[in-house]
């Protein structure tokens, strides 16, 4: 598993923990930062995981609006918490991190869904992220 894949999974752990514990993403990020400082053997995945979570926090309203606007079958608050986290990471990477190709962000999200969520989640995640991407492409073409 690549360092970035590990970081995505670690970022998902932070976002998921915040969601299920009912704490803010900022609180979960701070707690993970303390754990990271105490576990230097995991240091390689921490910087990018921190960047992802901070990016999701910084763009939370826009990210959640994109997910909500494109999810015709599930309101954001009804999605499994792991799927919400996966989608937030992929949207942040595809929209706000120019270092990550959109296809890579989608593929990584689908792989996380296969590994960690329900049998239906990979198809749902792929379809939703593809719809968000297509709308972004259309908007760029109109400009």
**pLDDT digit string, tens, across residues 114-123:** 999 999 999 9
Neighbouring residues of 102: CB distance < 8 A, sequence distance ≥ 6? 94, 133
Q: What is the dihedral of CA 55, 23, 108, 112, to 10 degrees?
A: 180
* pLDDT at site 40: 79
Report phi then psi at 2, rounded to 5.
-70, 160
Sketch out the chain's domains with CATH numbers: 3-142 (1.10.940.10)
- CA dist., res. 58 & res. 77, Å (int): 19
* pLDDT at site 42: 74
Average the pLDDT over each of 16-30, 32-46, 129-143 and give the range with the smallest value. 129-143
């Amino acid at each position: 598993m690549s360092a970035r894949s590990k970081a995505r999974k670690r970022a998902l752990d932070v976002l998921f923990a915040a969601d299920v514990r009912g704490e803010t993403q900022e609180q979960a990020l701070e707690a993970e930062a303390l754990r990271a400082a105490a576990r230097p053997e995991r240091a390689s995945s921490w910087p990018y995981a921190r960047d992802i979570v901070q990016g999701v926090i910084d763009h939370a309203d826009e990210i959640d609006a994109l997910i909500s606007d494109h999810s015709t079958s599930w309101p954001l608050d009804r999605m499994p918490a792991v799927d919400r986290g996966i989608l937030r990471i992929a949207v942040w990477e595809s929209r706000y991190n120019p270092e990550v190709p959109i296809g890579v962000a989608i593929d990584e999200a689908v792989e996380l869904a296969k590994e960690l969520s329900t049998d239906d989640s990979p198809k749902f995640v792929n379809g939703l992220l593809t719809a968000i991407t297509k709308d972004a492409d259309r908007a760029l073409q109109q400009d």
